């Protein structure tokens, strides 16, 4: 089977695994294309969760068994929460603004695809660690702790969360080999999936259709440009921003407090938390910021907290169980002890970040969404969630860079444009938030 | 009023989206061509990896599964050899890659001197025994004497 065909089958299996959840009436408020993409996203998170659990239990990976287990978890989660039905998404005529925004998104996705095909967006990290890990996991039919723990393999960050390598290994099992071209293609394909799902996830009411489409196109354009200039094809940054953007979009909906929406958002946050280290901080900050307005409803707060936090905690817990039992976390302090900050580097770090971003299309993928947000007028209260998250992303990046005892400039040069990629996406979501009519979570409150 | 604000915000976002999409298209390597490059690195931010990648991809056809190999540069270069070790793990699964350098530092020779095969990035090594199994403009692949 060709690599792209294997990737397509993987996406279909992930969508099938997520369908017991997304086919529930609770998600009728989403558009059909958004439901399909979200089903694949949720299914992918559950697949990775099942793969980690199987590895912990010493059970060999098998494509059908893994997909079945992920589907079973989705069905149990949906049933266990007793998600009530919600109104079907209203059909409305496509406003011209939405058509123009779709054209922008298509252009951005085509640019990402052309850059990937021509090798202009290749991520060296795919070949240095994501790919070798996934290839070995597929050959071993499980997370190969012995391989990760070999001294001369430790540059592959053995402690790193497993979702990206797991899913690439799953695709390799489907294909029958690890297909490097297909791994590279995940950049434009996930960007296309984001471009399809984001407008339909954001849109809660028909009048907001144009704004949802335009804000989505802004986010997609920023990711395409950063992805091309920073070379993210095949690495963990595109999956990370995919999960993060969709999770936040769900939390900005008018029905964000509906149990089904909260649970789905929690599952996507689990995807972010297990995609990259910074995704864990993002998931924690997103859940905390989303729960703040829910403090006014103390009777439903615990249930909301469980729906938002249980998926990331379980997904990471499975990885910590596996890694802890196999001694994989010995190297986790490679960037320095947690509490030791080298504040003497602060000025140099700020300058290096500025210089690196200026080198990434003159920082325009970061400046343009910010300028749009400012030009759109005073942010609404609903924008606090994406703006707070953008601040959290920046603070965590600074925190990480301040840990390095040596000169962190080379590290910053390699990583800052990618690590800060969620920021313009969150700025675009902040532009949308609260201007679509109705505050997030105003509808869909449930006594459950 | 709310709809007006929503439409104004949408128009602003659309302008930004159009600009970013245009910049994304503009940043493509139009002059070099949009077709597939010889390796994924030729037009990437790290084109210096392209020769090593191409050589190792070719070496996969002559180094059998189960064999061990090391990647050396001629003249010696710890950076090239470290990258060769990492790319070797990616491109030649099922073989044992013995690092001649690791994270930019040469390793002791006893770590890699017993390798069955040596992939040499760069010019042909002086005083090499026998004939290379494979030679490309990027380098050569040698089987150590007495190895299977």
Whether residue B80 is predicted with pLDDT greater than 90 in this model: the reply is yes
Q: What is the pLDDT of residue A87?
A: 56
In the predicted model, what is the mean pLDDT of chain A? 91
Q: Which residues does residue B70 pair with via DSSP β-bridges, in sequence order?
A: B98, B118
CA proximity to A141, closest of A167, A170, A175, A178: A170
CA proximity to A216, closest of A226, A201, A205, A229: A201
Q: Which residues does residue B143 pair with via DSSP β-bridges, in sequence order?
A: B117
* Residues 79 through 98 of chain B touching chain A, CB cutoff 8 Å: 85-87, 89-91, 93-94, 97
Whether residue B26 is predicted with pLDDT greater than 70 in this model: the reply is yes
Asked if the structure places residue A126 within a domain, the reply is yes
Place of tokens 């990480």: A400
Q: Please judge whether B102 and A152 are an interchain contact, meaning their C-beta atoms are less than 8 angstroms apart.
A: yes
Q: Please judge whether B21 and A111 are an interchain contact, meaning their C-beta atoms are less than 8 angstroms apart.
A: yes
What token pair was written down for A180? 């490097």
Tens digits of residue pLDDT in A41-70: 999 999 999 999 999 999 999 999 999 999
Place of tokens 């394909």: A189
Residue of B nearest to A431 (CA): B9
Q: Please judge whether A215 and B13 are an interchain contact, meaning their C-beta atoms are less than 8 angstroms apart.
A: yes
CA distance A45 to A17: 10
Give the number of beta-carbon pairs within 8 Å between A and B.
Answer: 198
CA distance A353 to A414: 10
Enter the DSSP assignment of A405. Answer: S
> How far does B22 lie from chain A, in Å, by closest CA?
8
**H or E, element range at B128:** none
State the Cα angle at B123 between B120 and B127, rounded to 5°. Answer: 80
Tens digits of residue pLDDT in A372-422: 999 998 888 889 999 999 999 999 999 999 988 788 888 899 899 999 999
Tens digits of residue pLDDT in A261-284: 999 999 999 999 999 999 999 999
Whether residue A191 is predicted with pLDDT greater than 90 in this model: the reply is yes
CA proximity to A23, closest of A45, A39, A41: A39
Q: In 10 A of CB A18, how many CB atoms?
A: 29
Burial class (CB in 10 A: 0-12, 13-18, 19+), A60: exposed
CA distance B70 to B36: 29
Q: Which domain holds residue A260?
A: 3-86+94-432
Place of tokens 């797991």: A166
Which of B10, B39, B87 lies at the smallest CB-CB distance from A210?
B10
From its phi and psi, is residue A40 left (phi > 0), alpha (psi between -120 and 50) or beta? alpha
Which of A112, A122, A371 lies at the smallest CB-CB distance from B44?
A122
Whether residue A74 is predicted with pLDDT greater than 90 in this model: the reply is yes
**Can you give the pTM of this predicted structure?**
0.94
For an interface test with A, which of B5, B7, B15, B16 has the most A Cβ atoms less than 10 Å from its Cβ?
Answer: B16
* Residues 14 through 73 of chain B touching chain A, CB cutoff 8 Å: 14-25, 27-29, 32-37, 39-46, 49, 53
CB of A40 closer than 8 Å to CB of A19: no
Q: Please judge whether B14 and A152 are an interchain contact, meaning their C-beta atoms are less than 8 angstroms apart.
A: no
> How far does B9 lie from chain A, in Å, by closest CA?
5
Residue of B nearest to A225 (CA): B24
Q: Please judge whether A101 and B35 are an interchain contact, meaning their C-beta atoms are less than 8 angstroms apart.
A: no
Strand ranges, E, within A43-84: none
Asked if the structure places residue A443 within a domain, the reply is no
Q: What is the pLDDT of residue A333?
A: 56
Tens digits of residue pLDDT in B88-142: 999 999 999 999 999 999 999 999 988 999 999 999 888 766 678 899 999 999 9
Residues of chain B contacting residue A124, judged by C-beta atoms under 8 Å apart: 41, 44-46, 49
Whether residue A119 is predicted with pLDDT greater than 80 in this model: the reply is yes
What token pair was written down for A91? 């059909």
Q: Please judge whether A225 and B23 are an interchain contact, meaning their C-beta atoms are less than 8 angstroms apart.
A: yes
- Look at chain A and report how many structural domains it folds into: 1
Place of tokens 């930019």: B104
Asked if the structure places residue A249 within a domain, the reply is yes
First to last CA, chain A: 47
Q: Is the dihedral of CA A179, A185, A191, A196 positive or negative?
A: negative
Q: In 10 A of CB A140, how many CB atoms?
A: 16
DSSP B56-112: HHHHTTTS-TT-EEEEEEES--HHHHHHHHHHHHHHSTTSEEEPSEETTEEPPHHHH
Q: What is the pLDDT of residue A447?
A: 36
Q: What is the pLDDT of residue B144?
A: 82
**H or E, element range at B137:** none
Q: Please judge whether A372 and B12 are an interchain contact, meaning their C-beta atoms are less than 8 angstroms apart.
A: yes
* Residues 210 through 229 of chain A touching chain B, CB cutoff 8 Å: 210-211, 213-215, 217-218, 220-222, 224-225, 228-229
Residue of B nearest to A185 (CA): B40
What token pair was written down for B86? 């990492």
Query: Virtual CA dihedral for A185, A187, A191, A193, nearest 10 degrees?
Result: 50
The SS3 assignment for A1 reads coil
Asked if the structure places residue A8 within a domain, the reply is yes
The residues near A11 (Cβ < 8 Å, ≥ 6 apart) are: A40, A189
- Tell me whether B108 touches chain A (CB under 8 Å): no
Place of tokens 């007793």: A82
Residue A155 Cα to chain centre, angstroms: 24
Q: Please judge whether B28 and A107 are an interchain contact, meaning their C-beta atoms are less than 8 angstroms apart.
A: no
Q: What is the pLDDT of residue A28?
A: 86
What token pair was written down for B43? 């037009």
Residue of B nearest to A434 (CA): B6
Enter the DSSP assignment of A153. Answer: G
Residues of chain A contacting residue B39, judged by C-beta atoms under 8 Å apart: 119
Which of A111, A119, A211 lies at the smallest CB-CB distance from B41?
A119
Task: Give me the residue spans of the domains in chain B.
Answer: 1-31, 47-143
The residues near A109 (Cβ < 8 Å, ≥ 6 apart) are: A188, A191, A192, A195, A220, A224
Whether residue A81 is predicted with pLDDT greater than 80 in this model: the reply is no
Residues of chain B contacting residue A178, judged by C-beta atoms under 8 Å apart: 93
CA distance A44 to A17: 8
* Residues 58 through 97 of chain A touching chain B, CB cutoff 8 Å: 97
Asked if the structure places residue A439 within a domain, the reply is no
CA distance A184 to A103: 24
Please give the ipTM for the structure prediction: 0.93
**H or E, element range at A287:** helix A277-291
Share of chain A above pLDDT 70, in %: 91
What token pair was written down for B78? 């710890």
Identify which has the larger pLDDT, A347 or A166. Answer: A166
CB of A107 closer than 8 Å to CB of A333: no
The SS3 assignment for A157 reads coil
Q: What is the pLDDT of residue B69?
A: 95
What token pair was written down for A345? 């580097």
CA proximity to A247, closest of A228, A217, A274: A274
Q: What is the mean pLDDT of residues A146-174?
A: 94
CA proximity to A362, closest of A225, A264, A243, A206: A225
Q: What is the mean pLDDT of residues A98-123?
A: 96
In the predicted model, what is the mean pLDDT of chain B? 91
Q: What is the pLDDT of residue B129?
A: 63
CA proximity to A47, closest of A5, A4, A1, A9: A9
Q: Please judge whether B86 and A222 are an interchain contact, meaning their C-beta atoms are less than 8 angstroms apart.
A: no
Which of B34, B42, B94 lies at the smallest CB-CB distance from A117?
B34
Lowest mean pLDDT among A2-16, B19-33, B124-138: B124-138
The SS3 assignment for A129 reads helix
Residues of chain B contacting residue A180, judged by C-beta atoms under 8 Å apart: 40, 90
Residue B52: band (very low, low, confident or very high) from pLDDT cuts 50, 70, 90: very high
DSSP A306-365: HHHHHHHHHHHHHHHHHHHHTTGGGGTTTT--TT---GGGHHHHHHHHHHHHHHTGGGHH
Q: Please judge whether A213 and B11 are an interchain contact, meaning their C-beta atoms are less than 8 angstroms apart.
A: no
Which of A118, A128, A361 lies at the smallest CB-CB distance from B36?
A118
Asked if the structure places residue A444 within a domain, the reply is no
CA distance A310 to A132: 31
For an interface test with A, which of B18, B19, B20, B71 has the most A Cβ atoms less than 10 Å from its Cβ?
Answer: B20
Q: How many residues does chain A have?
A: 448
Strands B139-143 and B134-136 come out as antiparallel
* Cβ density class A184-202: b for 16+ within 10 Å, e for less: bbbbbbbbbbbbbbbbbbb
Residue A303: band (very low, low, confident or very high) from pLDDT cuts 50, 70, 90: very high
Residue of B nearest to A127 (CA): B90
């Amino acid at each position: 089977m060709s690599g792209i065909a294997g990737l397509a089958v993987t996406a279909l299996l992930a969508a099938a695994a997520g369908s017991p959840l997304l086919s529930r009436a609770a998600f009728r408020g989403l558009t059909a294309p958004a439901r399909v993409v979200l089903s694949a996203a949720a299914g992918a998170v559950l697949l990775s969760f099942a793969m980690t659990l199987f590895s912990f239990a010493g059970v060999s990976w098998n494509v059908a068994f893994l997909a079945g287990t992920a589907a079973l978890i989705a069905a149990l989660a949906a049933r266990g929460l007793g998600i009530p039905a919600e109104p079907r998404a209203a059909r409305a005529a496509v406003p011209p603004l939405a058509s123009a925004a779709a054209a922008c998104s298509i252009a951005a996705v085509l640019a990402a695809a052309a850059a990937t095909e021509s090798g202009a967006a290749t991520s060296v990290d795919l070949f240095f660690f994501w790919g070798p890990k996934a290839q070995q996991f597929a050959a071993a039919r499980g997370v190969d702790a012995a391989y990760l723990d070999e001294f001369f393999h430790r540059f592959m960050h053995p402690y790193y969360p497993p979702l990206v390598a797991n899913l690439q290994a799953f695709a390799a099992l489907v294909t029958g080999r690890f297909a490097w071209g297909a791994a590279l293609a995940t950049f434009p394909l996930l960007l296309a999936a984001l471009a399809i799902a984001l407008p339909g996830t954001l849109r809660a009411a028909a009048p907001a259709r144009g704004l949802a489409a335009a804000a989505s196109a802004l986010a997609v354009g920023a990711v395409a440009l950063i992805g091309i200039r920073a070379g993210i094809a095949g690495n963990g940054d595109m999956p990370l921003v995919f999960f993060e953007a969709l999770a936040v979009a769900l939390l900005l909906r008018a029905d964000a407090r509906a149990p089904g929406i909260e649970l789905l958002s929690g599952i996507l946050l689990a995807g972010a938390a297990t995609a990259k280290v910074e995704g864990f901080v993002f998931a924690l900050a997103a859940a905390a910021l989303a729960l703040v307005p829910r403090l006014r409803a103390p009777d439903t707060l615990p249930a909301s907290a469980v729906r938002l936090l249980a998926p990331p905690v379980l997904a990471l817990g499975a990885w910590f169980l596996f890694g802890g039992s196999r001694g994989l976390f010995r190297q986790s302090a490679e960037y320095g002890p947690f509490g030791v900050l080298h504040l003497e580097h602060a000025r140099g770090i700020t300058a290096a970040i500025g210089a690196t971003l200026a080198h990434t299309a003159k920082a325009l993928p970061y400046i343009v969404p910010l300028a749009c947000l400012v030009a759109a007028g005073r942010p609404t209260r609903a924008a606090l969630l994406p703006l707070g998250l953008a601040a959290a992303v920046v603070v965590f990046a600074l925190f990480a860079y301040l840990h390095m005892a040596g000169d962190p400039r080379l590290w910053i040069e390699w990583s800052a444009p990618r690590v800060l990629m969620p920021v313009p996406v969150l700025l675009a979501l902040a532009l949308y938030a609260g201007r679509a009519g109705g505050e997030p979570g105003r509808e869909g409150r449930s006594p459950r | 009023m709310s709809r007006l604000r929503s439409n104004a915000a949408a128009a602003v976002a659309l302008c930004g989206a159009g600009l970013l999409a245009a910049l994304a298209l503009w940043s493509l390597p139009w002059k070099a061509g949009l077709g597939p490059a010889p390796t994924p690195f030729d037009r990437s931010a790290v084109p210096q990896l392209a020769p090593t990648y191409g050589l190792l991809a070719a070496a996969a056809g002559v180094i059998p599964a189960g064999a061990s190999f090391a990647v050396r540069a001629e003249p010696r270069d710890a950076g090239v050899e470290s990258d060769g070790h990492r790319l070797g793990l990616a491109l030649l699964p099922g073989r044992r890659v013995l690092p001649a350098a690791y994270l930019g530092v040469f390793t002791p020779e006893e770590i890699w001197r017993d390798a069955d095969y040596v992939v040499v990035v760069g010019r042909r090594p002086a005083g090499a025994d026998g004939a290379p199994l494979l030679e490309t403009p990027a380098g050569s692949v040698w089987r150590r004497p007495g190895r299977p």
